[in-house]
Structure 1
Amino acid sequence: MPTEKTELRESGYQDLRDAIDPTAAPPDPWPYVELRDDVDNPITRIDITADDRASWVHNQGNQTIRAELEIAATDDDIQADNENPVTIIATASYAVAEAGDEKSWDDTHPITLAHQDDEVVITHSIEIPEVI
Protein backbone atom coordinates (compact mmCIF):
# COMPACT_ATOMS: atom_id res chain seq x y z
CA MET A 1 0.00 0.00 0.00
CA PRO A 2 1.49 3.37 -0.93
CA THR A 3 2.25 5.76 1.86
CA GLU A 4 0.73 9.23 1.64
CA LYS A 5 2.91 10.86 4.28
CA THR A 6 5.24 9.60 6.99
CA GLU A 7 6.91 11.78 9.56
CA LEU A 8 8.82 11.59 12.81
CA ARG A 9 7.22 13.38 15.73
CA GLU A 10 9.25 15.46 18.22
CA SER A 11 9.42 12.49 20.59
CA GLY A 12 10.90 10.38 17.77
CA TYR A 13 13.54 12.98 16.99
CA GLN A 14 14.40 13.18 20.69
CA ASP A 15 14.94 9.41 20.76
CA LEU A 16 17.39 9.79 17.86
CA ARG A 17 19.22 12.57 19.71
CA ASP A 18 19.34 10.43 22.89
CA ALA A 19 20.76 7.48 20.93
CA ILE A 20 23.67 9.70 19.86
CA ASP A 21 24.26 11.62 23.12
CA PRO A 22 26.46 9.55 25.49
CA THR A 23 25.13 11.50 28.51
CA ALA A 24 21.47 10.67 27.75
CA ALA A 25 19.60 7.55 28.79
CA PRO A 26 19.32 5.17 25.84
CA PRO A 27 15.88 5.38 24.19
CA ASP A 28 13.44 2.51 24.19
CA PRO A 29 12.74 0.71 20.89
CA TRP A 30 9.46 1.42 19.10
CA PRO A 31 7.85 -2.05 18.78
CA TYR A 32 4.21 -0.91 18.89
CA VAL A 33 2.11 0.24 15.95
CA GLU A 34 -1.26 1.81 16.59
CA LEU A 35 -4.01 1.79 13.95
CA ARG A 36 -6.04 5.03 13.76
CA ASP A 37 -9.59 5.43 12.49
CA ASP A 38 -11.14 8.07 10.25
CA VAL A 39 -11.63 10.51 13.16
CA ASP A 40 -8.09 9.94 14.48
CA ASN A 41 -9.10 7.67 17.36
CA PRO A 42 -6.96 4.65 18.24
CA ILE A 43 -8.38 1.33 17.04
CA THR A 44 -5.75 -1.00 18.49
CA ARG A 45 -2.05 -1.08 19.28
CA ILE A 46 -0.07 -4.07 18.00
CA ASP A 47 3.28 -5.35 19.29
CA ILE A 48 5.30 -6.06 16.15
CA THR A 49 7.67 -8.36 18.04
CA ALA A 50 4.96 -10.49 19.70
CA ASP A 51 1.80 -10.43 17.54
CA ASP A 52 1.54 -13.10 14.81
CA ARG A 53 -0.19 -10.58 12.53
CA ALA A 54 2.86 -8.29 12.39
CA SER A 55 6.51 -8.42 11.37
CA TRP A 56 9.41 -6.16 10.43
CA VAL A 57 9.98 -6.37 6.66
CA HIS A 58 12.81 -3.94 5.89
CA ASN A 59 16.44 -4.77 5.23
CA GLN A 60 18.89 -3.83 7.97
CA GLY A 61 20.44 -0.44 7.21
CA ASN A 62 17.60 0.81 4.99
CA GLN A 63 16.60 4.46 5.26
CA THR A 64 12.96 3.40 5.57
CA ILE A 65 12.04 0.99 8.34
CA ARG A 66 8.86 -0.99 7.63
CA ALA A 67 6.50 -3.24 9.50
CA GLU A 68 3.69 -5.24 7.88
CA LEU A 69 0.43 -5.86 9.70
CA GLU A 70 -2.12 -8.40 8.45
CA ILE A 71 -5.48 -7.22 9.74
CA ALA A 72 -8.84 -8.99 9.42
CA ALA A 73 -12.33 -7.67 10.15
CA THR A 74 -12.84 -10.61 12.52
CA ASP A 75 -9.73 -9.95 14.64
CA ASP A 76 -10.67 -9.68 18.33
CA ASP A 77 -9.37 -6.11 18.53
CA ILE A 78 -11.07 -5.01 15.27
CA GLN A 79 -14.56 -6.64 15.17
CA ALA A 80 -15.80 -4.93 12.01
CA ASP A 81 -19.02 -5.81 10.20
CA ASN A 82 -21.74 -4.21 8.04
CA GLU A 83 -23.27 -2.40 11.00
CA ASN A 84 -19.93 -1.42 12.57
CA PRO A 85 -17.38 -0.81 9.82
CA VAL A 86 -13.84 0.17 10.80
CA THR A 87 -11.91 2.63 8.62
CA ILE A 88 -8.14 2.82 9.06
CA ILE A 89 -6.49 6.06 7.90
CA ALA A 90 -3.08 5.99 9.59
CA THR A 91 -0.59 4.16 11.77
CA ALA A 92 1.64 5.49 14.55
CA SER A 93 4.74 4.16 16.34
CA TYR A 94 5.03 3.89 20.12
CA ALA A 95 7.61 2.61 22.60
CA VAL A 96 4.95 1.39 25.06
CA ALA A 97 1.81 -0.76 24.92
CA GLU A 98 -0.52 1.92 26.33
CA ALA A 99 -0.47 5.74 26.34
CA GLY A 100 3.04 7.13 25.80
CA ASP A 101 4.37 9.59 23.25
CA GLU A 102 3.75 9.07 19.55
CA LYS A 103 7.13 8.52 17.84
CA SER A 104 6.12 8.58 14.17
CA TRP A 105 3.01 8.91 12.02
CA ASP A 106 2.24 7.25 8.70
CA ASP A 107 -0.82 8.28 6.64
CA THR A 108 -2.33 5.62 4.40
CA HIS A 109 -5.13 5.50 1.89
CA PRO A 110 -8.36 4.95 3.86
CA ILE A 111 -9.12 1.25 4.30
CA THR A 112 -12.59 0.16 5.41
CA LEU A 113 -13.25 -3.26 6.90
CA ALA A 114 -16.99 -3.96 6.82
CA HIS A 115 -17.47 -7.66 6.04
CA GLN A 116 -16.45 -10.82 7.87
CA ASP A 117 -14.09 -11.82 5.06
CA ASP A 118 -12.36 -8.42 4.75
CA GLU A 119 -8.59 -8.59 5.24
CA VAL A 120 -5.81 -6.12 4.52
CA VAL A 121 -2.03 -5.89 4.75
CA ILE A 122 -0.94 -2.51 6.07
CA THR A 123 2.66 -1.34 5.77
CA HIS A 124 3.77 1.04 8.51
CA SER A 125 6.84 3.05 7.44
CA ILE A 126 9.29 5.15 9.43
CA GLU A 127 11.53 7.42 7.36
CA ILE A 128 14.95 7.86 8.93
CA PRO A 129 16.96 10.95 7.95
CA GLU A 130 18.92 10.19 4.81
CA VAL A 131 22.51 8.98 5.01
CA ILE A 132 24.79 11.16 2.87
Structure 2
Amino acid sequence: MNDPSRQRPLSPYMLGPYYRFQITSLLSISGRITGMLLAAVTLPALLAWLLALAAGPDSFAATQAWFSGICGKLVLAVSLLCLSFHLLNGLRHLAWDAGKGFEMASVRASGWAVIIGTFVLTALVWWCAS
Protein backbone atom coordinates (compact mmCIF):
# COMPACT_ATOMS: atom_id res chain seq x y z
CA MET A 1 0.00 0.00 0.00
CA ASN A 2 2.91 2.38 0.63
CA ASP A 3 4.51 1.67 -2.75
CA PRO A 4 6.13 5.00 -3.87
CA SER A 5 5.60 4.21 -7.57
CA ARG A 6 1.83 4.41 -7.07
CA GLN A 7 2.03 7.90 -5.59
CA ARG A 8 3.66 9.65 -8.51
CA PRO A 9 1.67 11.13 -11.42
CA LEU A 10 1.29 9.03 -14.55
CA SER A 11 0.97 11.82 -17.10
CA PRO A 12 4.15 12.97 -18.88
CA TYR A 13 2.64 16.45 -19.07
CA MET A 14 3.19 16.91 -15.35
CA LEU A 15 6.46 18.81 -15.53
CA GLY A 16 8.67 18.54 -12.54
CA PRO A 17 10.69 15.74 -11.03
CA TYR A 18 8.77 12.97 -12.82
CA TYR A 19 9.20 13.95 -16.46
CA ARG A 20 12.47 14.42 -18.30
CA PHE A 21 12.55 16.29 -21.60
CA GLN A 22 13.93 14.15 -24.38
CA ILE A 23 15.76 15.47 -27.40
CA THR A 24 12.85 14.49 -29.66
CA SER A 25 10.31 16.49 -27.68
CA LEU A 26 12.70 19.43 -27.34
CA LEU A 27 13.32 19.56 -31.10
CA SER A 28 9.63 19.19 -31.86
CA ILE A 29 8.72 22.14 -29.66
CA SER A 30 11.69 24.14 -30.97
CA GLY A 31 10.63 23.52 -34.57
CA ARG A 32 7.22 24.99 -33.88
CA ILE A 33 8.68 27.96 -31.98
CA THR A 34 11.21 28.76 -34.72
CA GLY A 35 8.46 28.56 -37.33
CA MET A 36 6.39 31.08 -35.38
CA LEU A 37 9.40 33.36 -34.89
CA LEU A 38 10.19 33.23 -38.60
CA ALA A 39 6.62 34.28 -39.37
CA ALA A 40 6.38 36.92 -36.63
CA VAL A 41 9.87 38.47 -36.77
CA THR A 42 11.80 37.51 -39.89
CA LEU A 43 9.04 37.97 -42.45
CA PRO A 44 8.09 41.49 -41.27
CA ALA A 45 11.77 42.48 -41.11
CA LEU A 46 12.32 41.23 -44.65
CA LEU A 47 9.20 43.03 -45.87
CA ALA A 48 10.31 46.27 -44.18
CA TRP A 49 13.70 45.98 -45.85
CA LEU A 50 12.15 45.33 -49.28
CA LEU A 51 9.66 48.19 -48.88
CA ALA A 52 12.50 50.53 -47.92
CA LEU A 53 14.40 49.39 -50.99
CA ALA A 54 11.39 50.19 -53.17
CA ALA A 55 10.75 53.54 -51.43
CA GLY A 56 14.07 55.04 -52.43
CA PRO A 57 17.63 55.64 -51.30
CA ASP A 58 16.78 57.66 -48.19
CA SER A 59 14.38 55.05 -46.82
CA PHE A 60 16.80 52.27 -47.65
CA ALA A 61 19.69 54.07 -45.93
CA ALA A 62 17.59 54.57 -42.80
CA THR A 63 16.59 50.91 -42.76
CA GLN A 64 20.18 49.82 -43.31
CA ALA A 65 21.25 52.05 -40.43
CA TRP A 66 18.66 50.41 -38.18
CA PHE A 67 19.78 46.91 -39.18
CA SER A 68 23.39 47.96 -38.50
CA GLY A 69 22.52 48.90 -34.91
CA ILE A 70 22.32 46.58 -31.93
CA CYS A 71 18.56 45.94 -32.27
CA GLY A 72 18.84 45.23 -35.98
CA LYS A 73 21.76 42.87 -35.49
CA LEU A 74 19.85 41.06 -32.77
CA VAL A 75 16.86 40.64 -35.10
CA LEU A 76 19.16 39.36 -37.85
CA ALA A 77 20.99 36.96 -35.52
CA VAL A 78 17.78 35.50 -34.07
CA SER A 79 16.27 35.25 -37.55
CA LEU A 80 19.35 33.49 -38.89
CA LEU A 81 19.44 31.10 -35.94
CA CYS A 82 15.74 30.27 -36.40
CA LEU A 83 16.14 29.85 -40.15
CA SER A 84 19.15 27.55 -39.74
CA PHE A 85 17.38 25.39 -37.16
CA HIS A 86 14.14 25.26 -39.13
CA LEU A 87 16.00 24.30 -42.31
CA LEU A 88 18.05 21.53 -40.72
CA ASN A 89 15.12 20.18 -38.70
CA GLY A 90 13.03 20.22 -41.88
CA LEU A 91 15.68 18.15 -43.67
CA ARG A 92 15.55 15.71 -40.77
CA HIS A 93 11.79 15.42 -41.20
CA LEU A 94 12.19 14.89 -44.95
CA ALA A 95 14.49 11.96 -44.18
CA TRP A 96 11.81 10.58 -41.87
CA ASP A 97 9.21 11.02 -44.63
CA ALA A 98 11.45 8.87 -46.81
CA GLY A 99 11.42 6.20 -44.09
CA LYS A 100 15.01 6.76 -42.95
CA GLY A 101 16.39 7.22 -39.45
CA PHE A 102 13.65 5.84 -37.21
CA GLU A 103 15.97 3.81 -34.97
CA MET A 104 16.39 5.49 -31.57
CA ALA A 105 20.15 5.83 -32.04
CA SER A 106 19.58 7.55 -35.40
CA VAL A 107 16.89 9.80 -33.94
CA ARG A 108 19.22 10.95 -31.17
CA ALA A 109 22.20 11.36 -33.52
CA SER A 110 20.20 13.35 -36.06
CA GLY A 111 18.78 15.49 -33.26
CA TRP A 112 22.22 16.39 -32.00
CA ALA A 113 23.36 16.94 -35.59
CA VAL A 114 20.52 19.46 -36.02
CA ILE A 115 21.50 21.30 -32.82
CA ILE A 116 25.22 21.41 -33.60
CA GLY A 117 24.60 22.11 -37.29
CA THR A 118 22.35 25.03 -36.40
CA PHE A 119 25.13 26.84 -34.56
CA VAL A 120 27.75 25.93 -37.18
CA LEU A 121 25.56 27.04 -40.09
CA THR A 122 24.54 30.25 -38.31
CA ALA A 123 28.16 31.13 -37.51
CA LEU A 124 29.29 30.29 -41.04
CA VAL A 125 26.61 32.42 -42.71
CA TRP A 126 27.17 35.29 -40.26
CA TRP A 127 30.92 35.15 -40.91
CA CYS A 128 30.43 35.06 -44.70
CA ALA A 129 27.98 37.99 -44.56
CA SER A 130 30.27 40.14 -42.39
Q: TM-score, normalised by structure 2?
A: 0.22
* Larger-Rg structure: 2
| Structure showing the higher strand proportion among its residues | 1
| Structure showing the higher helix proportion among its residues | 2
